Chain A
């Protein structure tokens, strides 16, 4: 899990965890179950919740619970909560809410987006879709230093250097790397 100092992971209560886990199984691709990733998605979700203000956090938790209980009003659910629906009915319930074109739709879309975001942050999922930025960043960073090392060091040192007199005096920007920042021609 991608944690760092200062990250706080508020633990959701068991009922909400159950709803979010079930929601993740419907929202995320089937590999979430095949790869036993539900717990990791939940942990990532809890980390994201920790970054939100308390009022937003409470509202999201309440929204998940309302989403879960609201399934009872959905006829094909036959009075059951979302967390207890089979995949087909659970998916149909979610789609029905997303089709409503009202404030509820925006809320459900946001919940869906948050959970999908957590799934695609898992390292193994990024690997599966071919997103491997780490080695790429290392390679281009090395290329940068090899190609422009002296200019980079001079530019970094210039940060602390005194300014030439006058507000508009020519400064220490890398010469010849482009004219002033106005619109340029075709």
Chain B
């Protein structure tokens, strides 16, 4: 059971207020889609949820723990909008490394399964730096979804993906969501994420509107 709570959260960069006060409650196993123009504060909110950025005021809680603390990190998996890979490790070695750090072979099994779903299982011995943008994104998704988590924070997950890849990604997300994982995603393609009970959070120049239900199928 992992909820996310924003309590009067703001973020300012010098004189620029990137996120105006936000107070919201994301229930357990929710599916939230954040939409808005470039530079409107979507990624900033997501990074504050992950703990990668600290709020200027207010607090973000993941479950009972404040965002960024070890307990919160245990619950969260974050997909950056610009995935980073180790330049000297192959995909398979990335997977081994991740599984080793989590001391859980199931992480590796999941990652390989996702790579297979993306039809990239034959490329796991290659260096990610040699991949195209879309292949890198698929690899990053595999690593993000493979690690144990109850909250998925995804920053433009369909970026660079082909149509089939995007469909596969959404179906993988839905599978995780069906098992109780909370999903928060930033996207410019909200229609792809219109699942039943999905909520849309619209933001304009740092001001977040109240979440509204999306029309899922």
Q: Do A and B actually bind?
A: no
